[in-house]
Amino acid sequence: MSSVGTGGGPGPGCPFCAPGSERVLWSDVRSRVLLAAEPGYPGFCRVVWGAHVREMTDLALEDRARLMEVVFAVEAALREVLSPYKVNLASLGNRVPHLHWHVIPRFEDDPHFPEAVWGTRVRQNKESNFENDGRLLEAIERQLRKE
């Protein structure tokens, strides 16, 4: 089993190595939580490992544990603030091979429910009570600090 710790230089052209316009809700020296701009999915977050690594098993055991602590803290914060029907956790990285987790609050009226957010759309986007609401971002940030 590989254990390269937090090593790994920036990946050429990797959007997570050169963060763009996504809002950083929380960060520490090893990871950060980004609010994804995904219309129809309020609270959709990405937990991104700081160093450019591809897989969970590229991390040392303590780094794996820390990353999952952050993922679980984001899930707990989103559940507390948004009360979604379900929360989806996914680590794919096929298009961006930089270790990251998607934490996606799901609602019965979201554009893809009950399918995966990358599946077949079953209804048009509709603006939720949470989108474009600065109070939501503040509440998520506050809850993340608690977690």
**Range(s) of the domain holding residue 34:** 23-146
Read off the CATH number of the domain in which 57 is found.
Answer: 3.30.428.10
| 52 is a domain residue | yes
Which pLDDT score, from 0 to 100, does residue 1 have? 30
| 6 is a domain residue | no
- Separation in Å, CA 2 to CA 43, 77, 80: 33, 32, 36
**pTM reported for the whole predicted model:** 0.84
**Tokens found for residue 26:** 């929380």
| 8 is a domain residue | no
Query: What distance in Å separates the CA atoms of residue 78 and residue 139, rounded to the nearest whole number?
Result: 9
| 12 is a domain residue | no
Average pLDDT, the chain: 84
| 5 is a domain residue | no
| 4 is a domain residue | no
How many separate domains does the chain show?
Answer: 1
Dump pLDDT digits (tens) for 58-105.
999 999 999 999 999 999 999 988 999 999 999 988 888 899 999 999
